[in-house]
Amino acid sequence: MSDDPREEAKRHVASRLAALGAALFAPVAKVAVVDLLARVGEGQYVELQVYVSSDGRFNVGSTRPRRDAFAVLVAHDGQRVGDAYVVPSLAVDRYAAAPSGGSRTLAIDDELARTLAVYRNRWKLIAEFNRFRSAASDPKALQVMLAMEGP
């Protein structure tokens, strides 16, 4: 069991992406909106913000959506890391809810889990960022693109 689920989740994300050939960097100074920076493909940099939840509710705050940024939503049951949703920040902006006066939350309930299923453990969206850039922010377009590729 890890003392800090968020740090364990960041190590998990780095390990998954490194296995796919991404070079990972962590900020030297604390930066609120960047946990990791991934250098992928032809030198493209992708910003990653890692969020951890034990109940499927991720407080994603109010970061500005960008085409080259991802939120990695990692489930953690208090003992170990579970599945992760690798979601482009443009899609986070589309699906996150903000109660009046509150911080934006992405609650992965049954309905949203079906919508975002294409992002579940989909690490290659980051590792092969240039390839998926055009369709990544739209779950339906991404499903079509992946289906056309075949197995």
| Residues 12-67 pLDDT 10s | 999 999 999 999 998 888 766 789 999 998 889 999 999 999 999 999 987 778 89
What is the domain count for the chain? 1
The rounded mean pLDDT for the chain is 89
pLDDT at 1 over 50: no
End-to-end CA distance of the chain: give it in Å, rounded: 36
Express as a percent the part of the chain with pLDDT over 70: 95
CA distances from 47 to 5, 25, 81 (A): 20, 10, 21
**Distance between CA atoms of 137 and 94, rounded to whole angstroms?**
9
pLDDT for res 125: 95
pLDDT for res 121: 96
pTM greater than the 0.85 cutoff:
yes
- Give me the mean pLDDT over the 103-121 stretch: 91
pLDDT for res 151: 62
- Give me the mean pLDDT over the 110-130 stretch: 94
Domain limits for position 57: 5-149
CATH of the domain at 98: 3.40.1350.10
